[in-house]
Amino acid sequence: MSHPLLRPATTADVQALLGFWLEAGENDSRPADSADAVRRQLERDPEALVVAELDGRIVGSVIAGWDGWRAHVYRLAVHPDARRRGLGRLLLEHVEARFTALGATRVDAMVLEGNALGQAIWAAAGYAPQDDWRRWVKPLR
């Protein structure tokens, strides 16, 4: 594999990203992605959504969400053809460096209980599950 380029996503990537996530992302037990949501996110924090590009194609993604209080990683995904070559780890190192530069002292991610691949990379990168917390959610209209 030649070297992937990591860069912030732009609005020109939105459709490609939606297709990429359908194929490569963790998609169970969550609302579907939408172009509007991705555009809103890019507008709010243009540096947060990072893609890995190889030969002009998106092969990896991650969102480093930072609101000044919490550092939250989501939409970490690597294309099935590009997995197990260190790209997921590279994306995580990139977002952790960004969070550190912004002043964050802790980073978290949501991982589905049944997602063995997800759990493998978080564990390898030094993350551990919290047993004494559960996420409480309420849909907003």
Ligand X SMILES: CC(C)(COP(=O)(O)OP(=O)(O)OC[C@H]1O[C@@H](n2cnc3c(N)ncnc32)[C@H](O)[C@@H]1OP(=O)(O)O)[C@@H](O)C(=O)NCCC(=O)NCCS
Q: Which residues bind ligand X (CB under 6 A)?
A: 24-26, 76-78, 83-89, 109, 111, 115, 117-118, 120-121, 124
Per the structure block, which two tokens stand in for 12?
Answer: 């020109």
The C-alpha atoms of residue 5 and residue 1 are separated, in whole angstroms, by: 12
Write down the least CB distance from residue 120 to ligand X, Å: 3
Nearer to ligand X, 76 or 107 (CB): 76
The C-alpha atoms of residue 122 and residue 15 are separated, in whole angstroms, by: 27
Give the angle subtended at the CA of 104 by the CAs of 117 and 24, to the nearest 5°.
25
Q: In sequence order, what are the residues at sequence separation of 6 or more whose Cβ sits closer than 8 angstroms to the Cβ of residue 81?
A: 59
Write down the least CB distance from residue 138 to ligand X, Å: 22
Please give the residue whose beta carbon sits closest to ligand X in the complex: 88
Nearer to ligand X, 135 or 141 (CB): 135
Nearer to ligand X, 66 or 118 (CB): 118
